[in-house]
Each structure stands twice: as C-alpha cells, then as structure tokens.
Chain A
C-alpha cells in the first residue's frame, strides 16, 4: 500500500513495490469561493489497504473525501478510482463505477421514508434485475455481517447512533464494492460502540478484501484500523506513514494533534486589538482553522 504525497513539505515513506493503485489523486486543488481549501494533494492507495485520513477540524479531510467519491468537482487535478478518472468520466462510466464503490456517511444518511431493509436493498433495486426475494436475502445477509440481524423492519428514526452507522455500512457493502469510504465512523459514538465499529471495518477488509479510506479525527480508532495514515493540515498533506511512523513523527503540528495540544499564536497587544476591532484579518493558518468543514 502506498500513499505518495508530493507537496514540498510532506514526508513520504518508502513506497514499496510498484502496484496499480486503487485510488490515485494527482495535484488535487479545491476552492470554496475564493478560498483554496485543498492544495496540490497527491496520493495513491493500493488495493486492499486501509488508509486513514486524519486531521483537525477545518483541515480539509471531509472536503478531500467529497472529491474522492465524486460529490464535488475539483478546481484542478485528477482523481482516479479503479483506473477511472472521475473528473473526466462520462455519465455512463460514472454509473458503472458507482456500482463498485460504497460510502458510509457520518450521520448514516439512511432514507428516512424507508425501513432499514428497503434502505439496504435500494442499490440492488436500482442496479440489478434480481427478484425481490433474492434482494431481501442479500440485504439480510449484510445486516448479519454488521450485526444488525432482525432490524430490517425498523425505520431509521428508531435506530441508535451505532445502529444507524452499521446500517449505513450494510447499505454501502450490499453491492460488494471494491472501494469503501467512511466519513467519521466513530463520531458521536461511545467508546464501546466505536471500538465495535472499528472491529467491523477490520473484519470487512479481511472478509471482502476491500480498499478502504476512512476519514476520522479519533486517534484511537485511526491507530487501530489504519495500515497507513495521511495527516492533513490546512488542506495540505503533512505526512503519510504507518501508525508507528506517525506516532514517532518529528513534525510539531502532528505531535500537537496527537497530544491534543492547541496551536499557539504569538500576538502582540497591538495586532490582537486590531483583530478584535476587525481592522486586520487573523493569521492565515488561524483563518483556515476557523473555516467550517463542508
């Protein structure tokens, strides 16, 4: 597995033997209005790898995920999934590709008007010609995999946070995708449920040999599931490395993130006063930290 950041300040480990990446991102740039939120992101994820994208709030990790799954078009650069450049792909190519990827959203994003079983069957209904009975069996099988057997008739509003996330995973894997993306799988869950979800991610990789990209800011979860970790900061790749490599990183910002230390901004009284009165903008790096994730 390899993730190859090519920004000047990024540190890269030995890429290992050459292998066609399942995901390749080249010179990716993204803007919200006039503000650039992703800066020349380059990375490659090998088949079967669990890549965790980590960073603080406003670091650009959720924005990067939206670009990886084709929900947002980049300002510049290329995103290739399973060899298909999604920035250039036709609608037909994208449709074919969509059948081979799954996404588990942060809040589950289950359709509130459908019960759990119908939610999970939806991709099958839309992309296959299976009869309903077969689709039901396949959906229930995935519910078994995520330990939600028996929840098929429940509506999303009746599910707990952990159940919602597992149901979302069941829907994401129902087409047996090659690529699976998770957006903050542990967010809002208690430690026990969060750990169970991490175990599920590891179990899925083992059983189905999927390539996974997990966006999270939960350190414990990241260290448990990651083959490698990409650390983002202010829309730039700071470092890509194994769990041990990230733990031992000499980068101060990464150490701040790992040790939950806030950044210190050196200000004199005059510039502090000017900031309060709105006469001058805050420092650029602080601005990036203040911009909410989209």
Chain B
C-alpha cells in the first residue's frame, strides 16, 4: 500500500515537473522570439518556414481526406437523428456549428498530434541521445531558440490555418450529402450554413486550435527533451508524446468549451 502511494506521489511530482518544464519552454520561446533579434540571436525564419512546410503543407492531403470524411459522417448522422423528429431541415445548422466549433479543430489537433507531434518528439529524442543538443549548447546556441521556438511558432500558425481549411472542406463534403438528401441547391445549403455561423463560433474553433497547437508542440518537446536509453527510449517517448498530446487536447477541449460557454 505504501509502495503504491509512493509510486503515485512520484508520478504526481514528475507530472508537475513536466508541466513546469513545458511552461518554462513556452516562456523562453516567446522571449527568444521577442528579444532574440536585438541580441543578434534571432529565431531563424528559414527554420520556421521549414517547420511550417512540414507541419502545414505536408499535412494538407490527409487533413483534406479526414475533414471531408468527418463532414460526410456528420451529415449522415445529423440527417438520421434529426429525421427521427422530422427536423431534417435543421441539419445544416447543426452541421455548421459542429464542424466549426468542435470537429474541425479537434480532428486537426489529433491529426497534428499523431503526425507532427510524434515527428517532433522523435526528432528531439534522437538529438538528445546523439548529443546534438549538447553540441548546440557548447557551440553557444540555445536549443530553445534553435529547435523549440521555430516548431512552436510554426505549429501555432499552421494549425489554425489547417483548421480553417478543414472547416471549408468538411462543410463542402457535408453539403454534397445534405443537398442530395434535402433536395436543395448547394447555394441554399451554404447560405443556411453561413447564416447559422457567427464570428464568435469561428473564433471559438480557431482559438481552440491555437491552444491545441501549443499543447502538441510543448508535450512533444518535453518528451523529446527527457529521452534516454537509445532507440527504445526514442520509441517510448514518441508514443508517450502522442498519447499525452491527444489526451491533453480532449481534456482542454472540454475545459475550453465549458469556460467559454459558461458566460
């Protein structure tokens, strides 16, 4: 019993330490982005652009496929469930709000956690184990400025962009199904969808996506930075990064919705 309590206590302390580490990484990244140029140590734009290509442009095909599938699935389910009450005509409103406020940011967040978060964690882990991070430090280059800040900035720019793209694709895909089922034109469908949405709804989804981006970047970086134990350590940390990122996204999603809608 004592051992269980001790083990639990250690896990809690480790968790708090990791959260603190993530917070410190975030603040240091922001600091480098803000004051780096004045100290002749800027966050390199080329590194940010390279990360943006990998995180954003590289994810476009799979983001498109997933968003379209989610849009279609939402249309099918909405028409079925609302049809039970004879309220199919309200399907467009439900789909529009669900996609923009919830599904687009969530699916892109999970996609980025699996695709880019794992890549980040694996890259940082390998660099730690190969002493590349030590090499940066002895050269006099801050690993946070050189590695973490570009990834964080790129994520926080590209994930909202991908979310916007997912909004459009999911609504179009849903439109194909809804227009057929309700026998309305695509223009009428979009007119209804746009009328149902406000700027607040859009900002709700985009705001969440920025939060998810920061979470994925920080969770992946922290796991990468704590890697040890060779190839097995890289695998373990990468898996942990993806699982923690997705869990954090889902929990924060709920908290965000609760806090924002509570008022």
Query: Measuring CB to CB, which residues of chain A are less than 8 angstroms from any residue of chain B?
Result: 69-71, 94-95, 98-99, 101-103, 105-107, 109-112, 122-123, 126-127, 171
B131 within 8 A of partner (CB): yes
Give B124-158 as 1s and 0s: 1 = Cβ < 8 Å from A's Cβ atoms: 00110011101101111100000000000000000
Contact present for B140 and A107 (CB under 8 Å) = no
Query: Measuring CB to CB, which residues of chain B are less than 8 angstroms from any residue of chain A?
Result: 41, 126-127, 130-132, 134-135, 137-141
Tell me which of A101, A107, A112, A126 contacts B138 (CB under 8 A).
Answer: A101
Contact present for B131 and A126 (CB under 8 Å) = no
Residues of chain A contacted by B139 (CB below 8 angstroms): 98, 122-123, 126, 171
Interface-central residue, B41, B126, B140, B141, by most chain A CB under 10 Å: B140
Residues of chain A contacted by B127 (CB below 8 angstroms): 111
What residue in chain B is nearest A183 (Cβ atoms)? Answer: B131
Residues of chain A contacted by B134 (CB below 8 angstroms): 71, 105, 109
The smallest beta-carbon distance between B17 and chain A, in angstroms, is 15
Residues of chain B contacted by A123 (CB below 8 angstroms): 139-140
| 22 A-B pairs in the complex with CB atoms less than 8 angstroms apart | A71-B134, A95-B140, A98-B139, A98-B140, A99-B140, A102-B138, A103-B138, A105-B135, A107-B130, A107-B131, A109-B130, A109-B132, A109-B135, A111-B127, A112-B126, A112-B130, A112-B132, A122-B139, A123-B140, A126-B41, A171-B135, A171-B139
The smallest beta-carbon distance between A171 and chain B, in angstroms, is 8
Contact present for B138 and A71 (CB under 8 Å) = yes
Give A127 to B142 CA distance when docked, in angstroms. 12
Residues of chain B contacted by A106 (CB below 8 angstroms): 131
Residues of chain A contacted by B41 (CB below 8 angstroms): 126
Besides A69-B138, A171-B135, A171-B139, 13 other A-B contacts (C-beta < 8 A): A70-B138, A71-B137, A71-B138, A98-B138, A102-B138, A106-B131, A109-B134, A109-B135, A110-B132, A112-B126, A122-B139, A122-B141, A126-B41
Give A246 to B41 CA distance when docked, in angstroms. 46
Interface of B is mostly: helix
The smallest beta-carbon distance between A70 and chain B, in angstroms, is 7
What residue in chain A is nearest B137 (Cβ atoms)? Answer: A71
Give A171 to B138 CA distance when docked, in angstroms. 11
Residues of chain B contacted by A98 (CB below 8 angstroms): 138-140
The smallest beta-carbon distance between B90 and chain A, in angstroms, is 51
Give A101 to B139 CA distance when docked, in angstroms. 8
Give A102 to B138 CA distance when docked, in angstroms. 7
The smallest beta-carbon distance between B60 and chain A, in angstroms, is 22
Give A192 to B70 CA distance when docked, in angstroms. 62
Residues of chain B contacted by A102 (CB below 8 angstroms): 138
The smallest beta-carbon distance between A107 and chain B, in angstroms, is 6
What residue in chain A is nearest B146 (Cβ atoms)? Answer: A126
Residues of chain B contacted by A126 (CB below 8 angstroms): 41, 139-141
Give A107 to B127 CA distance when docked, in angstroms. 12
Give A123 to B138 CA distance when docked, in angstroms. 10
Residues of chain B contacted by A95 (CB below 8 angstroms): 140
What residue in chain A is nearest B123 (Cβ atoms)? Answer: A113
The smallest beta-carbon distance between B14 and chain A, in angstroms, is 14
Residues of chain B contacted by A112 (CB below 8 angstroms): 126, 130, 132
The smallest beta-carbon distance between B7 and chain A, in angstroms, is 17
Residues of chain B contacted by A101 (CB below 8 angstroms): 138
Nearest first, the 9 closest Cβ-Cβ pairs linking A and B are: A98-B140, A109-B135, A109-B131, A103-B138, A105-B131, A123-B139, A95-B140, A109-B132, A126-B141
Give A110 to B126 CA distance when docked, in angstroms. 12
Give A127 to B130 CA distance when docked, in angstroms. 23
Give A110 to B136 CA distance when docked, in angstroms. 10
Interface-central residue, A103, A105, A111, A126, by most chain B CB under 10 Å: A126
Q: Contacts A112-B126, A112-B130; is A103 near B135 (CB within 8 Å)? A: yes
Give A207 to B156 CA distance when docked, in angstroms. 49
Residues of chain B contacted by A94 (CB below 8 angstroms): 140
Give A112 to B129 CA distance when docked, in angstroms. 12
Give A111 to B126 CA distance when docked, in angstroms. 10
Residues of chain A contacted by B126 (CB below 8 angstroms): 112
Interface-central residue, A69, A71, A102, by most chain B CB under 10 Å: A71
Residues of chain B contacted by A107 (CB below 8 angstroms): 130-131
The smallest beta-carbon distance between B132 and chain A, in angstroms, is 5
Give A109 to B143 CA distance when docked, in angstroms. 14
Residues of chain B contacted by A109 (CB below 8 angstroms): 130-132, 134-135
Interface-central residue, A99, A109, A111, A112, by most chain B CB under 10 Å: A109
